[in-house]
Every structure is written in structure tokens, then in C-alpha cells.
Chains A and B, each alone.
Chain A
């Protein structure tokens, strides 16, 4: 006989028929909405930057160490005297300062994992040692000429070179802001990411007007659209922006630029 006044008691084994039907319907709707929601969210999230972190892959590199303003390794390019700049970082959100201490200008052998994106490269250093013996092929790397490109005003986002090049996805923007602050305050080189008119991306290494490190001073501008006016210099494969962080300005939206 059908129960004309169904009442649900959780610890009884049977749910009255009318209530069971409603419950089944509610659960089916919930599961369907959940799956639909997951699908919509998956497709609605923005796409991520390319960029690769060869986590767990140990490579060997030979080159010349630059200690200041930020630890870097200059490696001979494949064509003639061209050099390829590799930023250096330690494991985690820490700069490579302790690895390169006192090695400025020295020829070294580095093992580490490669991180790369948009022609920018970084090595997460595992070991570093001075090369004794023949280093003729490394001579002249450090003395590559700097070409001044003039004073420019650029708008972009300050990112940390490690996460942004591929250690994290996303490695820029608000969700990543605190992490970029952590990395840059930990000694990883800050770079300005700017969009070109052609829809590509350029990166400029940030240094003070006198060429010094600016890690501490840029923290409050990270992951926000920022406008920086300063001298732009091309050093080999690298662009460097000389500007006093006290003159950086927050702006509402970013804009594109073109190298003159």
C-alpha cells in the first residue's frame, strides 16, 4: 500500500517512494550540473604560455659566469662569436648568488635543468665548477659590445625570469603575483615582459639607472601593468632596461611597443 504521508527517516533502510524519486532526481541533476560545470570551466580558462621546464633532466653547460647585476652564464652560440645568455637560479625560489660568488668572468662547467620560452633561457643550477685547462672557445664572450638603443617608455608586466620562462603555468598575472614576489625577493632576476605591436613578446632585464640589481625595489610593481622610462641597451642576445625603480609608474592597462 502506498504511503499517503511519506516521511523520511535517515537511519531507516527504506526511503518512502515519493521522496526517493525526488532525491534521485536531485542527485542526477547535481551530478549533471557538476560535470557540465567542470567542462565549461576547463574550456573557459585562458590558455597558458608555452615554455618548458626540463624538471629532473640534468644537462651540462660550458660558459663564462656573469655575477652582476644578476647571475648569468654566457654560452657560445652555434654561429661564430654570437653568445647565448642563460639566467641562473638555484632550486626553488632562490637566486643563484651562492653558486656564482667570486666566479665573475670565470670559465665554468655547470650542470642543471634548462628552462626556456620565447628565446629566453635559464638554468636551474645543480653544480658549478671552474674549468681548469683549455677555454679558448669561451674567450671573448664577456666582451661583446653593448649597443645603446636610446631612451624609451615601455609598458608591461614585471615577472620573475624563472617561473615565467616555464617553471610555472601560469607564471604571470594576479594568481602568480605572490610567487613572483617570493622569487624576485629571493634573488631571481626580474624582467619586464612587453608586447610588441606585431603581437610578439620581448623581455628586458631590469637594472637600476646605474646598472645595479633592483630586486627589492621592484616588488611593489610586480604582476601589475607598469610603465618604465629608461635607457634600453642591447647586449648580445639580451635587452637591458636601465631605469631607477623610483620612477616606475603603475598604469591601468598595458600597451604595445616597438623597438626603434
Chain B
């Protein structure tokens, strides 16, 4: 986890994941350029490469943006999320090749600097058909560069999770810019409406997937409020929690994960310290709460990662009374040890 930083901590899943990325990229580009030069022999290899890399980058961006909501809708997609950042870096590199080839092709060897040319050759904002689309692509590439450059956990730790997270939310701005880049660019010249249709389907897919996942999440949030003078609030029945799993409840706007394991109940903040993964969708593995996204671990009683790791999440005091879990809505400071509440009459309660 955060103990020290290596370029990439390789493991079997990452190797398989990356192997598949390379396979997909090679297949797509080989086919686009190979078949393209057969069916459009008048064109040039430069054009096929520009288009191949550009369309591949946009397709990969759709995959990347789909993985998050898909995992929220069905956890069996989580293996796709595990190494998503390598997919992101691959997408950036494809976009970079597209951009560099296009800038060289359309802007180099002229009477001004190529980058100046991108921004200054077309400044006609008077109509959509004339609108300069290349600066939009360049801006998106700039965002994707920032994201790829800071994708390593080193930057996550050094920028702090909130800054890092908002930086990486800019991917949606990049996506919007790229949709405009295509609509105001190549689609102004191409006549086949299938191209517009494909882009529209992609856009609708991304938006609806996010809406679906978002609604699902909001519907799942039951805001709990205190009953009586006691600070403790009734959260759920013990039976609603599966062994080694959690139930997520909402307390004062914060999500809390209540875990049941070995005849006991413990509660921690739902937010993983790594990238805000939902700990409550994780599982107790080898005695530790294990985050479903990248497998960071926390002891259920203390919210602290096992040594030598140093991540800590807030814990919550819990009680079990008559088969019901009661929870104190005031979080303990991250890493504070709290007594797990024993479940009366649980056979596994030792």
C-alpha cells in the first residue's frame, strides 16, 4: 500500500490485465490501418494512424468511464476496475499519438510554431460548422496528460485525496471536450450518419449508466436519525448483514460500513483512504476489512491498516441489543480502537 513507491507493483492480475490491453490495442490498430489501406487505398498511412489512434482513444475512454458505474451496479465487474489506471494511461498515450501526428501533419513545417498554429490558424467562432475544433482536442489532451502524470499513488498521497480526486473528475470535462472535438471536427466533413450514430450511442450509454448507478446509490442511502435521548441510533438488524460482509448506513450525511464477523459487529467509515472506495462493499479477508477496489486492508476494531501500512479510517461505537445493531453517530478519530459488539447467541461467537 503506501509504504514505499515503486513504479508499478506487479502481480498476476495486473499482468493479465495489461496483456489484454496490449492485445486489444494491437488488434484494433492493426485492423483499422490494415483494412483501412485495403478499402481506402487512396489515403495515406498518416491519416489512417491519426484516425486509428483517435478513435481508439475515444473508444477506450468510453470503456474507462463505464467501469465505475458498472461496478456499482454489479460488483462482479470489479476486476475491470482493479487496474483501470493502466487503461487510462494507455488511452492517454493513444490520444497523444493522435494529437502529435495530427499537429505534425496539419501544423508543422509552416510559417508559425505548430502549437501556436493549433490555437491561431482558425479563430472563427461565428458558426458551428467553422468553429475551431482542434484547440478543444488539445485542451482535452492537456487534462488527460495531467491525469496520466498523476495517476500513481505517489501523487495521490502527496496531493491529498480531495485534490487528486477532483483533478481526476476532470475526465468528464475531457470527455465533453472530445465529443465536441469530434462533432465540430471530422463529423462536419464525413457524410455517413453511422458515424454520428455511434458517437450518440456512446454518449447516451455513458450518461444513462451514470444516472442508473447514481440513482441506485441514492436509493440505497437510508438516513438514520436518533430516537430518544440516547446517542445511539438503531442501524439495522444483525440478520441483515451477511457473515464477513457489511451493511452501509447513512449517518449525518456520512456513509458508515457495519461489518459482521466471527460473532461480532464493528463499524468504520465507508470511505477507503486510498481512492475513496466503498469499504462496506468489501469483505473481511484474513481478519481485515478488504477494500473492493484495490484491496487496501483495515482492522475492523481499529480502522487501522495492519503494519507496516499506515492508513487509518474513523471507527464508530456499536452495540447489539435484541438482534439489532445500534450505532453512535459520532465518529472516533481515525484508527481509534473500539470494542466490537458481541452478537448474543451467535454460534460463531467465541
Contacts and interface: CB of A to CB of B under 8 A. Distances in A.
Interface of A: 5, 7-13, 15, 18-20, 22-23, 26-27, 30-31, 34-35, 37-51, 91-94, 168-170, 173-179, 181-183, 185-187, 220, 224
B24 A9 contact: no
A19 B79 contact: yes
B12 A31 contact: no
A176 B106 contact: yes
Given A37-B198, A186-B110, A224-B130, A46 B117 contact: no
Given A11-B13, A37-B198, A174-B185, A42 B35 contact: yes
Query: Number of contact residues on B: which range applies?
Result: 35 or more
Nearest to B130: A224
Given A179-B106, A182-B121, A186-B111, A10 B40 contact: no
17 contacts: A8-B78, A11-B11, A12-B295, A13-B11, A22-B76, A31-B20, A37-B55, A39-B31, A41-B32, A42-B35, A44-B192, A45-B51, A92-B109, A94-B111, A174-B129, A174-B184, A185-B111
B133 A23 contact: no
B77 A26 contact: yes
Interface string B47-68: 1000110011001000100000
B78 A178 contact: no
A92 B105 CA distance: 10
B82 interface: yes
B195 interface: yes
A10 to B, nearest CB: 4
Interface string B7-46: 0010111100000100110011001100110011011100
Contacts of B195: 41, 44-45
A10 B86 CA distance: 14
Contact of A174 (B52, B56, B188): B188
B27 A31 contact: yes
